[in-house]
Amino acid sequence: MTRNVKIFRHPSRRAVLTGGASVGLLSALGTGLRAQGAATRPSSQLPQRGNFLIKGAYIITMDAQSGDLSDGDLHINNGAIVAVGRNLTVPPGAEILSGKDMIVLPGFVDTHTHLWSTQMRGRFGDTAETIYFRTRNILAPGYQPEDSYQGTRLGAAEAIHSGITTAVDFFHNNRGMDHVNACIDALKETGLRCRFHFGPATTTTPTQSMDLAGLEQLHQGWATTIGDRPLSLGLAWRGPLGITTPTPGEPVSPGYSVAKTEFETARRLGLPIVVHVSGVTARQQFDALVKGNFLGKDVQLAHFSNASAAEIKIAAEAGSPLTLTPLTELRVGYGVTQLGDYLAGGMKVGLGVDSNSLAGVADMFTVMKTFQGIEAGRLKNELAITPRKLLELATIEGARSIGMDDRIGSIAAGKRADVIMVNTQALNMGMFADDPAHLLVEAARPSNVDSVWVDGRLLKRGGRMTALDEAAVVSGAKASITEIVSRTRR
C-alpha cells in the first residue's frame, strides 16, 4: 500500500515523502519521531523574558487589595510581576514603556477550547448535512500530524493576539502520539500558557480506550518535552455518557469500564479532568457522573447545559468547576446560557471560547459582552451583571476555576507576568468612563490589544505579534484545510 504521506516536522524543516514509501518505513519513521519527542523539534525564537517598566497606565489589577490604579506603574522582570504601584523607581536595566492612554490588566483565561479544529472556521453550513458536529466528524479523520499543528498554531496565535494568555485546550482528535507532539510543538512555538488535555479521537468508540500508555509516557517526560514553556497536562475525558452506569448486582458494561479506567488513570497521575456536559445529552451525562462518583474539584464540567437548580447544587457541593462558552452554546443551539443561575448556585465559573472555529473568534471581549446582553435580556434587568463581574470571570475567577489563581489571573507581585495592555486611542474606545471595565466589556475588540505578555515574554507589541509571522500562520492553516477537505471528500 502506498499513499502520499507528509512527515510532520516544522514548516521550515519538514520533509515530504510522496509515494513509494512502504508502510514499514512509515511506521519506523513514526516511531523515530515519537522516540525523538517534541523536545527535538525546533521551537520558534520567542523573545526573552525581559525587564520592563510600564509607566503611567490605568491598571486594573483584579487583586482585591490593590484594586485599580490610575497613573500606575508595573514592573515585570524575568517572567514575574515584581511590583505594581505609583511612581515606582526605574529598575536598573528596565525598558520603559509608556502606559499613556493604555488600560493594563491581567491576560484573559480561556477555560475551554479546542485549538486543533481552528482551520475549520467558516465551514459549518446552512443544511443538515453541513452542521457543526457532522462537518467536524467528517473532517477530523482527515487530519495528519501537520494539520493538528496548523490548527493549534493558528488557534493559539489568534488567542494571544486577542489578549488571551491562558487556554485550557481539549484535544479530542488524538490520532496518535505524532499528533499530540504536533500540538505541543505548536503551543511551544506560540508561547501561549496552556493546559493541554490529552483525549481520544473523534472516532474512538465507547469500548475503545484512549491511548493511556501514551498519556503515561507523555506525563513522565513532560518536563523535558515542554522545556521552559508554561504548559501543563490534563485529561480530555468523554465521560460515561451513553454507557450504562452499573447498579449494584448488575454486570459492568465494557464501555463503563473503559471510561472509569481513563478517569482513574488521570486521578492516579494527578492530572485535572475536563468533561463535556452539553446539549440534549447534558442531563444523561450529569446523571452518569453523579452515579459513578465522578465529580470533584479536579473535574471541570464544560457547558452543563440547561442545568436545574438541584443539579447545580450537587455539582457545587462536589466542588466541580464550570466553564461556560456562550458563543458556541448559542451558535450550536444548546440554549441560552443562564450564567446567573450557576453563579447563584455557588459554582466556580470560568469563561471560554470553545473552538475558534465554532465561536468564529477567540475573543474574550465578545464573550463578556454576549453575557452582559444575555443576562440583562433574559432577566429584563439592565443591572443583571456588571462589567466588573464579567472581567473577574474572564481573569481571576477563570484562573481560580482551573486551580491556577496562585500563578495567574491578577496583577500582584510574585505572580507570573501574564499581562495585556489595551490601547484606548482608537475610534471605538477613548478613555471616557470612570470605570474602564465598561469600555473593556462594551467597546473593546482584539484590535485594541496593543501588547501581550505571557510568562514575562512580550508576544504582541504595538498591535503586532513579535515572534510569529501572522501571514505564514494563516496561509499554513489554509493549505492544511484544503488538504483535509480533499482527503475526506467522498
Local structure of 338: helix, strand or coil: coil
Q: Looking at beta carbons only, is 61 or 118 nearer to Zn ion?
A: 118
CB atoms within 10 A of CB 393: 25
CB of 114 to Zn ion, least distance (A): 6
Rounded distance between C-alpha atoms, residue 219 and residue 236, angstroms: 14
Q: 119 or 410, CB closer to Zn ion?
A: 119
Q: Strand 68-77 vs strand 80-85: parallel, antiparallel, or unpaired? A: antiparallel
> Looking at beta carbons only, is 234 or 436 nearer to Zn ion?
234
Smallest separation, CB 200 to Zn ion (Å): 14
- Whole-Å CA distances, 465 to 57, 159, 419, 460: 21, 11, 15, 4
Q: How far is the CB of 170 from Zn ion (least distance, A)?
A: 5
Nearer to Zn ion, 301 or 302 (CB): 302
Of residues 54 and 194, the one with the C-beta less far from Zn ion: 194
Candidates 373, 401, 398; CA nearest to 387 is: 373
Nearer to Zn ion, 180 or 302 (CB): 302
Instruction: State the nearest-atom distance from the C-beta of 76 to Zn ion, in Å.
Output: 32
Instruction: Kindly state the smallest distance separating residue 224's Cβ from Zn ion, in Å.
Output: 29
In the complex, least distance from residue 352 CB atom to Zn ion, rounded to whole angstroms = 8
d(CA 312, CA 219): 32
Grid coordinates representing 29 are 519513521
Residue 62 is classified by DSSP as -
- Give min distance, CB of 311 to Zn ion, in A: 19
Least distance CB 132 / Zn ion (angstroms):
11
Nearest to 371 by CA among 355, 356, 349, 402: 349
Residues that bind Zn ion (CB under 5 A): 302, 354
218 three-class SS: helix
CB distance 106 to 62 below 8 Å: yes
- The residue sitting closest to Zn ion, measured at its beta carbon, is 354
Minimum CB–partner distance for residue 112 and Zn ion (Å): 6
* Spatial separation of the C-alpha atoms in residues 231 and 187, rounded to whole Å: 8
SS (H, E, C) 248-270: CCCCCCHHHHHHHHHHHHHHHHC
Long-range contacts of 218-222 (CB under 8 A, 24+ apart): 218/177, 218/180, 219/269, 219/271, 221/37
Facing residues of 98 across strands?
55
Residue number, 230 or 352, with CB nearest to Zn ion: 352
Q: 3-state class of 71 per DSSP?
A: strand
Residue nearer to Zn ion on the CB measure, 263 or 304: 304
Q: Which is nearer to Zn ion, 354 or 392 (CB)?
A: 354
Beta-carbon count within 10 A of 194 CB: 30
